[in-house]
Amino acid sequence: MTLLKEPDLGTPAMPGDATVAVEIDGLAVTVPPGTSVLRAAAMVGVEIPKLCATDSLDAFGSCRLCLVEVEGGKGTPASCTTPCADGMKVRTQSPKLEKLRRGVMELYISDHPLDCLTCSANGDCELQDMAGVVGLREVRYGFEGENHLDAPTDSSNPYFDFDASKCIACSRCVRACDEVQGTFALTISGRGFDSTVSAGMDESFLASDCVSCGACVQACPTATLQERSVVELGMPTRSVLTTCAYCGVGCSFKAELRGDQLVRMVPYKDGGANEGHSCVKGRFAFGYASHPDRVLSPMVRDRITDPWCEVSWDEAITHTATRLREIQAEHGPGSIGGITSSRCTNEEVYVVQKMVRAAFGNNNVDTCARVCHSPTGYGLKQTFGTSAGTQDFASVDAADVIVVIGANPTDGHPVFASRMKRRLRQGARLVVVDPRRIDLVRSPHVEAAHHLQLAPGTNVAVINAMAHVVVTEGLGDTDFVAQRCEGYEEWAEFIAREENSPEALAEITGVPAAELRAAARLYAAGPNSAIYYGLGVTEHSQGSTMVMGMANLAMATGNIGRDGVGVNPLRGQNNVQGSCDMGSFPHELPGYRHVSDDNVRAVYEQLWGIPILPEPGLRIPNMFDAALDGTFRALYVQGEDLAQSDPNTQHVTAALSAMDLVVVQDLFLNETAKYAHVFLPGTSFLEKDGTFTNAERRINRVRPVMTARTGKQEWQIVCEVAQAMGYPMRYDDAAAIMDEIALTTPTFAGVSFAHLDEVGSIQWPCTAAAPDGTRIMHESGFTRGKGAFIPTAYVPTKERSTRKYPLILTTGRILSQYNVGAQTRRTANVVWHEEDVLEVHPHDAEVRGITDGDLVDLASRVGRTSLRARISDRQPVGVVYTTFHHPVTGANVVTTEHSDWATNCPEYKVTAVQVALHRSVPAAAAADPGAVLVAGE
């Protein structure tokens, strides 16, 4: 598939029906009102020369190249800024127009380096193209006049250069930063001849607010903003359409190659999730796939203290299967289990859960979603009937009120955040519910109407108080409730109790009652109000309760089942949704169907030829507990770094150490591999063939850009282990696995690789009734029939601050890094985040004698570590904050055993800690945060 250059119609598409008929060079075309002449012309194949126009940006009308003549009109208007009018007749070519365009190009070229043959953009330069299109043959002004040819190059960004000498001041980069990304980091400084693109306040790109999303690079028509990889490797010659492997937005990218060498990743304009936009991770941070740390050969060892020994695939697979069977023979069939990965494809995940159920003969399968969005699975299943967000991302374009709870989209889901910010700039109102003042609270052209800065651990109290306002002030949608829901009376009686009022809860939540009431009224008034949430909701002792609380609020106000509304989880990893869909939970078969359902089990029992246990298996934390009890002895870990990402590291490593066999299937020797006996090297997303499902239930193809560097696809490895254990599990290719998923899972019934290749992407449910998928769920009825109101009593977390641990630690992530950093730490993204730091409020810092940059000890009752302090008032007094991207600081050394009551999702967001200036550390160690990391106290 070659899509190096996508069509560019010059200006954005206009909404609405095509009702305006025009004639362009004698060709008739009918377009929606507001469509530019430039776009209308492109739609009938008439390409008007242009430089400042591109269809991802609003028309600007600065380059004066797209001039046209309109019959009956005066002058030569720019076609990009001229809307079509019914009956309009346009001429795009005439001697006069040609002369004008050549004159414009002469001026541009008179101040441009004439180094086309050696320029990195040679062959992909719109200035070069336009010079040819207008027939430029001479530059009458010469090249000796005042010019910008000596303008400096800014190479501060690790991924792209800004060569000011090649800039034509078309403003496309500035407008891309404003309109597409919404960061407003670039501007045109100076006027007239002195006009230059400037990052920040005349800073370098790196020092400015630039988030390195690449939108400016993509928009640049010349080599002014150019990927360094293109400079070094040359212009790509072919592309493969695939899907990003970072966050749950699931952006579509063109992997552009020169021969077999990946040169760059370019966001795909027709990508359903990203529509041509990207972030610094997906756009640039793919170098980990070829990092020398990657392990490419299988390895085994008898004891975790032994050195690794490289073996053949056959030896590794036979050894793994033999040991698994030996352990089962000695300790019982339930003594082993497996964990699937949200970084792997649906097909890879499906075969792991199948291996556990069919070859292992138990339900001891879980997934890393256990530690992030398992409460979403529980809460939305209980209330709506299925475990998925209700909307697509585009739905936010119709939202009037956006409530962001426990999420930091500009850092965690940046491409969706850009879309959300665009809607906010159009006038939608914003409510942020977060202990920390995230960027969305106040950033260029965005300001939250309300920031409910609640105390960590009091989410349920806040959502109950909002619902209390809706019910007691009569702000609900009674018709929606009456027609679509059940359980309202019991819930309404509960929520209307005085104990749930904002006034009664203000002391607990820290949110002023008047502010909360105003936010609740705003949400109820809508008319379209949407909730977006993240791990700040789920990673609490009442994570599942909070998810149900949000669902209750949405149903009570009728904010379900149409554009602009809904309850939407922002998934952390690329395939959290998919890994959950694929039956990775120990109580559910694919499609969220409980293992106790005889009819569902029968489908798989018949196809797989084995009995399936009707009882749930162990969840990840239960596996650890059982390992320490001695009843759980072997674990197959697909792409999750348990020893870094799971809470209470000492407990995790003790459990791993207690097992007889730990098998790690991963790209790198991660922290968990230190406790492994078998290492099975995995494939990067550039090598995989399969599908990812993003946070909006969108199934996207992941196509192999290169052959598997390990010689095997990961699903093949899993199948071979199962076969070596005596269970026949064979597929011709990944497409055949998806065919089995579709055959057995009603919500995937219409999904196949061929169908995906045909339509691009599909949002499940994909059924006979919805053959191309479902944008918005629960439109006419809930999956479970009627939406269920469920009372959500607030139960305080057991994790409390004490005299010894008086502060509350909460955790999050940063834009440039991803999860435990295994990928992004192996890219130039470390420029933006060399180490995890502890944000401390100025008051808390002052009373402890801590200044910015000091090395501090962070201690909880389960462990302590050290890291540098950053003084910040983003979080209130008494709350400290850090990220978990670097193993050296080991943030999870201090997190505790507390977890969500329903799902065991760890309570990462609330840990009582003490922070103190690190005084006793030797000078050498003081220079190395984490060097004093100690597990347990």
Choice between 386 and 443, CB closer to other proteins: 386
**H/E element holding 807?**
strand 807-812
Tell me which stretch binds other proteins (CB under 8 A): 349-357, 735-743, 765-773, 787-795: 787-795
User: Distance (Å, rounded) from C-alpha 533 to C-alpha 404?
Assistant: 6
Q: How far is the CB of 617 from other proteins (least distance, A)?
A: 6
Choice between 597 and 846, CB closer to other proteins: 597
Choice between 321 and 905, CB closer to other proteins: 905
User: Distance (Å, rounded) from C-alpha 268 to C-alpha 283?
Assistant: 11
Site for other proteins (CB under 8 A): which residue of 514, 754, 793, 877?
A: 793
Examine residue 364 and tell whether it contacts other proteins (CB under 8 A). Answer: yes
Examine residue 370 and tell whether it contacts other proteins (CB under 8 A). Answer: no
Token pair belonging to 439: 């960027």
Site for other proteins (CB under 8 A): which residue of 156, 901, 925, 931?
A: 901
Examine residue 860 and tell whether it contacts other proteins (CB under 8 A). Answer: no
| Contact positions with other proteins (CB under 8 A) in 512-571 | 541-542, 545
Choice between 545 and 557, CB closer to other proteins: 545
Choice between 188 and 655, CB closer to other proteins: 655
Examine residue 503 and tell whether it contacts other proteins (CB under 8 A). Answer: no
Examine residue 2 and tell whether it contacts other proteins (CB under 8 A). Answer: no
Examine residue 339 and tell whether it contacts other proteins (CB under 8 A). Answer: no
Site for other proteins (CB under 8 A): which residue of 568, 899, 911, 914?
A: 899
CB–CB of 615/621 below 8 Å?
no
Name the residue among 34, 39, 38 with its Cα closest to residue 65: 38
Examine residue 902 and tell whether it contacts other proteins (CB under 8 A). Answer: yes
How far is Cα of residue 501 from the mean position of the Cα atoms in its chain? 35
Q: Residue count at the site for other proteins (CB under 8 A)?
A: 32
Determine how many CB atoms are found less than 10 A away from the CB of residue 3.
15
| Contact positions with other proteins (CB under 8 A) in 598-617 | 598, 614-617
Name the residue among 397, 367, 414, 400 with its Cα closest to residue 181: 414
Name the residue among 78, 65, 68 with its Cα closest to residue 107: 65
Determine how many CB atoms are found less than 10 A away from the CB of residue 524.
25
User: Tokens 């991302």, residue?
Assistant: 393
Choice between 491 and 685, CB closer to other proteins: 491
Tell me which stretch binds other proteins (CB under 8 A): 174-182, 383-391, 395-403, 899-907: 899-907
Phi, psi of 402 (to 5 degrees): -115, 125
Q: How far is the CB of 618 from other proteins (least distance, A)?
A: 5
Determine how many CB atoms are found less than 10 A away from the CB of residue 118.
7
Examine residue 897 and tell whether it contacts other proteins (CB under 8 A). Answer: yes
CB–CB of 496/424 below 8 Å?
no
Name the residue among 368, 364, 365 with its Cα closest to residue 343: 368
Choice between 160 and 632, CB closer to other proteins: 632
User: Distance (Å, rounded) from C-alpha 107 to C-alpha 101?
Assistant: 10
Choice between 655 and 722, CB closer to other proteins: 655
Examine residue 883 and tell whether it contacts other proteins (CB under 8 A). Answer: no
| Contact positions with other proteins (CB under 8 A) in 707-766 | none
Site string for other proteins, 142-181 (x = CB under 8 A): ----------------------------------------
Examine residue 587 and tell whether it contacts other proteins (CB under 8 A). Answer: yes
Determine how many CB atoms are found less than 10 A away from the CB of residue 832.
16
Token pair belonging to 535: 């791990």
CA-to-CA dists, residue 619 to 337, 369, 630, 845, 906, angstroms: 10, 11, 16, 39, 12
Examine residue 33 and tell whether it contacts other proteins (CB under 8 A). Answer: no
CA-to-CA dists, residue 233 to 158, 326, 831, angstroms: 15, 51, 22
Examine residue 625 and tell whether it contacts other proteins (CB under 8 A). Answer: yes
What is the end-to-end Cα distance of the chain in Å, rounded? Answer: 57
Examine residue 589 and tell whether it contacts other proteins (CB under 8 A). Answer: no
Tell me which stretch binds other proteins (CB under 8 A): 121-129, 237-245, 306-314, 902-910: 902-910
Q: How far is the CB of 650 from other proteins (least distance, A)?
A: 13
Name the residue among 245, 242, 239, 278 with its Cα closest to residue 262: 239
Choice between 791 and 890, CB closer to other proteins: 791
Task: Kindly compute the dihedral angle of the four CA atoms of residues 284, 150, 205, 414, in this order, to the nearest 10 degrees.
Answer: -50
User: Distance (Å, rounded) from C-alpha 277 to C-alpha 416?
Assistant: 9
Examine residue 361 and tell whether it contacts other proteins (CB under 8 A). Answer: no
Examine residue 788 and tell whether it contacts other proteins (CB under 8 A). Answer: no
CB–CB of 867/838 below 8 Å?
yes
Q: How far is the CB of 791 from other proteins (least distance, A)?
A: 7
User: Distance (Å, rounded) from C-alpha 483 to C-alpha 486?
Assistant: 9
Q: How far is the CB of 628 from other proteins (least distance, A)?
A: 9
CA-to-CA dists, residue 79 to 85, 101, 348, angstroms: 12, 13, 50
Q: How far is the CB of 793 from other proteins (least distance, A)?
A: 4
Q: How far is the CB of 505 from other proteins (least distance, A)?
A: 15
Examine residue 626 and tell whether it contacts other proteins (CB under 8 A). Answer: yes
Examine residue 494 and tell whether it contacts other proteins (CB under 8 A). Answer: yes
Choice between 274 and 362, CB closer to other proteins: 362
User: Distance (Å, rounded) from C-alpha 750 to C-alpha 747?
Assistant: 8
Task: Kindly compute the dihedral angle of the four CA atoms of residues 449, 453, 454, 456, in this order, to the nearest 10 degrees.
Answer: 130
Examine residue 622 and tell whether it contacts other proteins (CB under 8 A). Answer: yes
Site string for other proteins, 317-336 (x = CB under 8 A): -----------------x--
CB–CB of 684/289 below 8 Å?
yes
Q: What are 430's strand-pairing partners?
A: 402
Site for other proteins (CB under 8 A): which residue of 83, 271, 586, 591?
A: 586
Q: How far is the CB of 549 from other proteins (least distance, A)?
A: 12
- List contacts with other proteins (CB under 8 A): 334, 363-364, 494, 541-542, 545, 586-587, 594, 596, 598, 614-619, 621-622, 625-626, 631, 791, 793, 795, 897, 899, 901-904
